Structure 1
């Protein structure tokens, strides 16, 4: 019997069959009928796929796979998909939109590194159990980052509220002297509710352009935390999602505002929104959001997320006017300096 709603899975998306992803695999049974294995992909090679379903692990021979794809996480409460998704599940969704250059798993935690470009790609994502006692897990995190010449960071998701929230993990980190950095809100919206480009006109003389990869003009207008240029590691992280789009607003030949859209099953993400100072407060960021929303709708993304610094009141107001609302929050905990 199928574990998914009635109707066949019509596609076979090999690039989505990544260990750790939630997938559905339609496969042939010995009697000639078909069944669906829905759950986390535990292993994949040229011979078989191993899926952890609610009824236990299912091993599917490659020769028996009829179709397979990644699927969005299941709801954990009532509401529309962007509201009903759990905090840990949404954190894992977002991790697939901004992949690091290197990843090591510690139980369910993800240790991520990308030569220091962004906290998202250079922090331990602490969701679920690390598989070992917390003190041992934090020692492993410290080793991982110190060995790479990086400051140890742990990303701690929590309900919207004070950065001190985060349960036992936050308490352990605070007790070890790990300080809070970059309190951030995660906002979500139903993609269909977001304005489209036709609803957000540009000021006279400006136009938009988009591409599947960032060109030099786009990169030149993006300054993460004030950096003068995007480093090589950053260029790789920017194109790390299953699919992405790089949108910009031009004033003549000059790029004056940029944004990045990204895609995973069921979800679009919006990152890297930036406008040059002299063009701010002209509605360019709102138009970029609309361009990404149109792109996401055309690709079937039901929900959209973005992240914004908790203290950035202007950006929060912009996103809330566009239709976003807070889903949860996270902050980084940064380790004290290593002893000399």
Structure 2
């Protein structure tokens, strides 16, 4: 599996409010859901470049949506990256895409540690909000089609964590894993990951995938310790804040 293979999974499991074609790009309407659902990206994930006219069309479409210039660039799209850099768009948020077989990760959670539920509980929304995941991102979860599930984690008899997963084309992608600071380093994140993989395997997914910013060393360490391997990275090009 390559990052280009995973790109449709990213788009389907964390979908924008709407999309429109603009030259060689697909331009997304984010509706407050964050960068991943607000960026323009090449419509063909295997492509490496676009024309200056295509970039102009994408910029115009973003402006029409009231959104600033923002492009997602996959690691094999160096020619496009150079064009965007030449226009003064700055690099931000390098992100690793990591995968592993669901069967290698799946395990039922110990009693009363992790519960699968859809829709998410109100307490899960509170935990997400504490981690900066607000209504716009919860709306992204609601929009996801196909099999999906949230996971509610508990430690010390207290609400402690939450996560979301959705499946596309046999791949379950985990998003928005959040553990409250007071309950970190107790193994809950790993328990929730294994529970999510167990659900995913039962729902027909053969692979589990995650996205993690390169600067998030604790999360990268967790995923590596569980057996995830990187299949590539992407980043954004945007106006300097």
Q: Find 1:234's aligned residue among 137, 150, 155.
A: 137
Q: Find 1:154's aligned residue among 48, 62, 71.
A: 71
Hey, what's the Cα distance between the residues in 1 that align with 2:9 and 2:35?
Answer: 16
Does the aligned pair in 1 maintain the 2:33–2:139 contact within 8 Å? no
SS in 1 for 2:35: coil
Number of residue-to-residue matches in the alignment: 238
Mapped pair 1:103 → 2:19:
yes
Q: Which range moves more in the overlay, 167-176 or 88-97?
A: 88-97
Q: Find 2:125's aligned residue among 206, 213, 219.
A: 219
TM-score, length-scaled by structure 1? 0.65
Hey, what's the Cα distance between the residues in 1 that align with 2:105 and 2:195?
Answer: 10
Any stretches of 5+ residues in structure 2 without a counterpart?
none
Shift of 1:128: 2.7
Alignment match, 1:189: 100
What do the CA deviations read for 1:198-242 (whole angstroms, capped 9, x no partner)?
5xx58xxx5322212122111110148x53x622x3222112221
Hey, what's the Cα distance between the residues in 1 that align with 2:113 and 2:100?
Answer: 26
Does the aligned pair in 2 maintain the 1:247–1:260 contact within 8 Å? yes
Q: Which structure ranks higher in relative contact order (CA pairs < 8 Å, sequence separation ≥ 6)?
A: 2
Change (3 A) 1:263 1:149: same
Bigger radius of gyration among the two: 1
Mapped pair 1:137 → 2:54:
yes
Hey, what's the Cα distance between the residues in 2 that align with 1:86 and 1:251?
Answer: 36
Change (3 A) 1:263 1:281: same
Mapped pair 1:168 → 2:74:
no
Q: Find 2:237's aligned residue among 329, 333, 336.
A: 333
Q: Output the aligned Cα RMSD.
A: 2.3
SS in 2 for 1:305: strand
Hey, what's the Cα distance between the residues in 2 that align with 1:133 and 1:108?
Answer: 6
Q: Find 2:172's aligned residue among 268, 276, 280.
A: 268
Change (3 A) 1:269 1:210: same
TM-score, length-scaled by structure 2? 0.90
Does the aligned pair in 2 maintain the 1:260–1:271 contact within 8 Å? yes
What do the CA deviations read for 1:302-323 (whole angstroms, capped 9, x no partner)?
1111100101111111001111
Q: Find 1:125's aligned residue among 32, 41, 48.
A: 41
Hey, what's the Cα distance between the residues in 1 that align with 2:155 and 2:103?
Answer: 29
Change (3 A) 1:333 1:197: same
Alignment match, 1:23: none
SS in 1 for 2:72: strand
What do the CA deviations read for 1:11-68 (whole angstroms, capped 9, x no partner)?
xxxxxxxxxxxxxxxxxxxxxxxxxxxxxxxxxxxxxxxxxxxxxxxxxxxxxxxxxx
Alignment match, 1:89: 5
Change (3 A) 1:177 1:289: same
